[in-house]
Structure 1
């Protein structure tokens, strides 16, 4: 009878383990650097887009009486990331770019659609 041959499990060399540990750190560092460099400009553009989107969609819906899904036709090119939501009870439209900016515009009799007060 022969004895079974024992095989040792293969182990990754140390350098491969260190490489796989370094990859997530490098990716996160890259994202952090990109957010630091381009973040303020992106946030400002998102805020401008939501301001415009909220005002235009509110006027389209409450002043012109069009359905909110038709109001997107009045947006400028490049505003595909702006999302709209409507609160019929409060007569307001919220435009948002996820994780960057959000703006509300409320319909006021005699005034039309007015943007919310900027908080800073």
Structure 2
């Protein structure tokens, strides 16, 4: 029935509000429940995505670790020869490793030098690290892998 009264967005006609339906029941009304529902779906979706990510990482961890171990071994050996045979600074040596075709491993690799022991350590955080030591009679040699 048209009464000629116009209501703007957010307003409701008299008798349609919470007072018309009786006293409030401490937040358990249908509108309050509906406003919580999207946040529950978002939370559950995020938890499911996180669980899937953890599962994928767990399944591929061994392969990632092996690739990082091979990459750090190569990086330590090349950086050792670059630093102690060619007498270049470690930054130049890192650039040579980056163009070697190791893919993402080279960008994650960190190099550190121990000038006293004449060694270079290459590491990929949380996955692998390898050290190569220079000796004048043998050149650069890697430490044995610990299985």
- TM-score band (shorter)? 0.7 to 0.9
Match of 2:75 among 44, 47, 53: 53
Bigger RCO of structures 1 and 2 (CA < 8 A, at least 6 apart): 1
Moved over 3 A (4+): 8-14
Aligned twin of 2:96 = 74
Cα RMSD for the two superposed structures = 2.4
Cα distance in 1 for partners of 2:95, 2:42 equals: 47
Identify which range, 46-55 or 101-110, moves more after superposition.
101-110
* Structure 2 residue runs without a partner (length 5+): 1-25
Higher Cα Rg, which structure? 2
Identify which range, 96-105 or 48-57, moves more after superposition.
96-105
Aligned twin of 1:83 = 110
Give the total of aligned pairs.
115
Identify which range, 68-77 or 101-110, moves more after superposition.
68-77
| TM-score of the pair, normalised by structure 2 | 0.67
Cα distance in 1 for partners of 2:32, 2:81 equals: 65
* Structure 1 residue runs without a partner (length 5+): 1-7
Note closer, same or farther for the CA distance 1:87–1:16 as it changes in structure 2 (3 Å cut). same
Note closer, same or farther for the CA distance 1:71–1:24 as it changes in structure 2 (3 Å cut). same
Match of 2:131 among 84, 104, 114: 104
